[in-house]
Every structure is written in C-alpha cells, then in structure tokens.
Amino acid sequence: MARIIDAPLLADRRLAGDGCELPGRPIDDAAKRGLAFTPEVKRETDALYEKVERLIPPFEWPAYAPLIAGINRLKREKNAIILAHNYMTSEIFFCVGDIRGDSLQLAREAANTNAKVIVQAGVHFMAETSKILAPEKTVLIPDLRAGCSLAASITGADVRLIKAKYPGVPVVTYVNTSAEVKAESDVTCTSSNAVQVCEWAAKEWGTDRVILIPDEFLAKNVAAMTDLKIIAWHGRCEVHERFTAEDIAEIRAAHPGVVVLAHPECPPEVMAASDYAGSTAALAAYVGKRQPGKVLLLTECSMSDNVAAASPRTDFIRPCNLCPHMKRISLANIYDALLEMKHKVEIPEEVRVRAKQAIDRMLALPKTEKPLDFEVGLPEAAVELV
Ligand code: 13P
Ligand code: SF4
C-alpha cells in the first residue's frame, strides 16, 4: 500500500509557519446545506469511497459523502461537468471530477465537451481558458479568489510594453495568465508543450528569439533545452519557487534510492538535482508507468495524494507545499456554485477572440502521445530578463 511520508526536516520547517496549512475538513458544511448521510447517500457513494479509502478515514466519510452525492445530483440536473486539476484534494479529484488532468488536458476537454455548464475545479485562469474556448457554455468558478501568483505577475499593458521593446519577436505566453494577457500574445503554451511551442513560434516568425512569459524559471528551464534565445519575465510560482537543491540533498540522504520528480516551474538548480521533470500529467504518468519504490514529488501537495491512490506500490515522501489558490476550492463551494449557478466567468468578446487565437495556435500543434518531458541535469542557461 502506498504510504505518504512527510519529509521530516522539510515538513517541520514548512509547518512551523512557512505557509503550509492543511485544508479544512467539511464537518459542518453538509449539515449547513441541509444534507445528511442517509442510507441512500451511503449507497450512492460507496463505490466512490473505494477510490479514496486509502486517503480518507472511514469516520470522516459521512462528512464528505452528502456533499458528493449532492454535487453529482446537481451535475445531472444541470447538464454540468467538473474539470478537476491534478492539484485538487482527493475527494474533489476522484469523487466529483469528470475530467481530471493538467492544464492542457483540461483546456482540450473544455473545447470538446457537450455539457452546458463547466465547473472549474482549479484556479481562475483555468476557468477563463474554458470560457475562451467554450463561450456558449456557462463556466463557473467556485471561489473568485482562486488566483495564481504567475497570473498576477503580469498585465496586458506589460505585454504591450514588452512587444514594443522587441518588435518582430513572437510572444509565447504560459497559460497561467489572464485572458487579457493571452489576448496580447501570439501563442500560449503549458508545461506539457513549452519547448515545442517556442520552437514552432521561432520557425513561424523566422527568428532565433522568443519571448516566453511570465514564469522566469519555466523560461530558464526551456532555454536549457533549446538553442533559442529566450526573453523572460520575472514571474514566479509561489509554490514551486520554494523548493531548493538543499531540500533534495536532505531528502536523498534520509531516503536512499528515492526518485525525485520536479515540475518545470521549479528553479533550474532543482531541475538539475532531479531525476525527471514534466507537467503534472507527465509526473503522474511517470509514477504510474515506472512504479518506483519511493518518490519525492516536487510540486503541489495534493498531487502526491492523487497519484498515491493510483500507485499503491509506491511510497511518497511529501514536502508539504500547498497552493493556497487551488485550496480555495472545496466540495462546499462546488455545491454552492452548481446550486446557485455562481460565479459565472465572463470575458469581453473582443478580448476573448484575441485570446482564443493564441490558444488555438497551441491546440493546433500536433498532439503528442504523452506530455513532453523536460530534460534534467542540464547546465543552467541564461535568459534575457525584461
Ligand atoms: P500543469 O499544466 O502542469 O498542470 O501546471 C499547472 C500549474 O498551475 C502548476 O503549478
Ligand atoms: Fe499558480 Fe503556482 Fe498555484 Fe500553479 S501552483 S496555480 S502556478 S500559484
């Protein structure tokens, strides 16, 4: 059975006030909404509990199950689907999520679904991406405050200034940005295809330079893998920027043989000290395929739970870095969103159309069989910071 082992020193440090708080349990949430753990609810949710029984103790299930049953009923009534990002807590990810995956997979599904309503169990930029691709659908975000430090790091006006400084250089924008920023961009990318998109853009625009914004570390990690000159912005993911090469050394010493997997929003020194790197979907696929004995996932905390549920033979060492934005999404606010049809994501049509062009260019690139890996162990590459 998979075990989650909190990495001793690292976890202590983070729990000692360095930003790590475990998400609350919905003890009263169901009762407040008039929902109870009835025999019918138990029957309806027994099969779902099997998916999370290694993660949620049986005495807690009666607090979750009424909300889960309520959400699944509302989904049927309203012809809605829930797009659940890999960072969602397990009760959301496995028990109410219809489509699960990384940013790219969720964007593709938003474009293809026949449902009338999309509930984004993720952060605001993901809900905007869904609305950009599916304007005829109602797109709901359960908590409007579910932002992203990368998306907050740059505005449309910033991009206009960058373009004025580097005329003729294509702007490749990470999907972790607002619709307004995407509208100023030539093409978007995700961590599943960043290198592929940059190389495509350079070829299309006939240049050896690409502007890749706003994640400085992603830009540096892409620069290490291509001969292109990369112009970057100083945005950071507040979750991944906190991992260090010393963290890895500490954990390797305490857990010999551990396989270290990193998300490319991590600093280059962390990528260099890791065994494998890729998007959240690539990391999950790596564990699923190779079933290593012991793994350290250098990404958001809930990923370890979700991957562990599907990989019972792997032990997970988990430095606890939560994304406070992702953790704003709960069963209770998903239920409220569906019941009251709130909060609807709206984007001015003129912005949406231009943002869609940038996303469409990315989606039109050949679909790879699996998310593209990032190479690890490469020397750090220089980028030009705007
Ligand atoms: P992925 O595209 O890899 O799912 O990453 C999204 C994200 O926000 C990572 O922090
Ligand atoms: Fe944004 Fe980082 Fe949270 Fe991902 S983990 S949503 S990049 S703040």
Contact present, 314 and 54 (Cβ < 8 Å): no
Q: Whose CA is nearest to atom 2 of ligand 2?
A: 237
Residues with CB under 6 A from ligand 1: 86, 102-103, 176, 190-191, 237, 263, 265, 279-280
Measured from the Cα of 175, ligand 1's closest atom is 2
Query: Phi and psi dihedrals of 191, rounded to 5?
Result: -70, -10
CA distance 145 to 329: 9
Segment 201-220, tens digit of pLDDT: 999 999 999 999 999 999 99
216-223 helix and 194-205 helix, angle to the nearest 10 degrees: 70
**In terms of domains, do 204 and 81 share one?**
no
**In terms of domains, do 163 and 73 share one?**
no
Nearest to 117 by CA among 61, 78, 67: 78
Q: Cβ(237) to ligand 2 under 6 A? A: yes
Position 320 scores a pLDDT of 73
More confidently predicted of 310 and 142? 142
The answer to whether residue 17 sits within a structural domain is: no
**In terms of domains, do 127 and 182 share one?**
no
CA distance 306 to 89: 8
**In terms of domains, do 142 and 59 share one?**
yes
The answer to whether residue 178 sits within a structural domain is: yes
CA distance 265 to 261: 12
Which residues, other chains included, contact 342 with Cβ-Cβ below 8 Å and sequence gap of 6+? Answer: 140, 336
Alpha helices in the chain (DSSP H): 8-15, 29-32, 39-52, 61-78, 90-95, 103-112, 124-133, 156-165, 179-183, 194-205, 216-223, 245-254, 268-272, 280-290, 301-310, 331-340, 349-364
| Number of domains within the chain | 2
**In terms of domains, do 103 and 27 share one?**
yes
**In terms of domains, do 231 and 357 share one?**
yes
The answer to whether residue 211 sits within a structural domain is: yes
The answer to whether residue 222 sits within a structural domain is: yes
Give me the mean pLDDT over the 49-61 stretch.
Answer: 93
The answer to whether residue 90 sits within a structural domain is: yes
**In terms of domains, do 178 and 48 share one?**
no
The answer to whether residue 67 sits within a structural domain is: yes
Ligand 1 mean position, distance from CA 122 (Å): 10
**In terms of domains, do 218 and 359 share one?**
yes
CA distance 52 to 39: 19
Ligand 1 mean position, distance from CA 280 (Å): 6
Token pair for 185: 């961009």
Residue 171 pLDDT grade (very low, low, confident, very high; cuts 50, 70, 90): very high
* Parent domain of 56: 22-147+326-340
Q: What percent of the chain has pLDDT over 70?
A: 92
Q: What percent of the chain has pLDDT over 90?
A: 82
**In terms of domains, do 47 and 193 share one?**
no
Position 271 scores a pLDDT of 95
Q: Is the pLDDT reported for residue 164 higher than 80?
A: yes
Q: Which long-range contacts (CB under 8 A, 24 or more apart) does 45-54 make?
A: 45/69, 45/95, 48/94, 48/95, 51/94, 51/95, 51/309, 52/90, 52/91, 52/94, 52/95, 52/309, 54/1, 54/2, 54/308, 54/309, 54/312
Which residues, other chains included, contact 245 with Cβ-Cβ below 8 Å and sequence gap of 6+? Answer: 269, 270, 272, 273
Measured from the Cα of 240, ligand 1's closest atom is 10
Q: Is the pLDDT reported for residue 18 higher than 50?
A: no
CA distance 335 to 113: 21
**In terms of domains, do 137 and 26 share one?**
yes
**Cis (ω within 30 of 0) for the bond into 343?**
yes
The answer to whether residue 47 sits within a structural domain is: yes
Give the closest ligand to the alpha carbon of residue 242: 2
Position 16 scores a pLDDT of 31
Task: Compute the mean pLDDT over every residue in the chain, rounded to the nearest whole number.
Answer: 91
**In terms of domains, do 164 and 140 share one?**
no
Q: Is the pLDDT reported for residue 186 higher than 90?
A: yes
Q: Whose CA is nearest to atom 1 of ligand 2?
A: 148
CA distance 77 to 138: 14
The answer to whether residue 243 sits within a structural domain is: no
Position 27 scores a pLDDT of 67
Segment 277-299, tens digit of pLDDT: 999 889 999 999 999 999 999 99
CA distance 237 to 87: 14
Report which DSSP code applies to 368.
P
State the pairing for strand pair 315-317/294-298.
parallel
Give me the mean pLDDT over the 95-99 stretch.
Answer: 97
Q: Is the pLDDT reported for residue 224 higher than 80?
A: yes
State the pairing for strand pair 259-262/209-213.
unpaired
Q: Is the pLDDT reported for residue 255 higher than 50?
A: yes
Residue 25 pLDDT grade (very low, low, confident, very high; cuts 50, 70, 90): low
Residue 371 pLDDT grade (very low, low, confident, very high; cuts 50, 70, 90): low
Ligand 2 mean position, distance from CA 44 (Å): 34
Give me the mean pLDDT over the 80-96 stretch.
Answer: 96
CB atoms within 10 A of CB 226: 16
Measured from the Cα of 300, ligand 2's closest atom is 5
Give me the mean pLDDT over the 334-341 stretch.
Answer: 98
Side chain identity, residue 376: V
**In terms of domains, do 143 and 47 share one?**
yes
Give me the mean pLDDT over the 235-247 stretch.
Answer: 96
Position 319 scores a pLDDT of 73
Q: Cβ(176) to ligand 2 under 6 A? A: yes
19-23, 83-87, 291-295 — which is least confidently predicted? 19-23
Task: Match 């691709």 to its residue by tokens.
Answer: 133
CATH of the domain at 114: 3.40.50.10800
Q: Is the pLDDT reported for residue 8 higher than 50?
A: no
Residue count of the chain, please give it: 386
Position 312 scores a pLDDT of 85
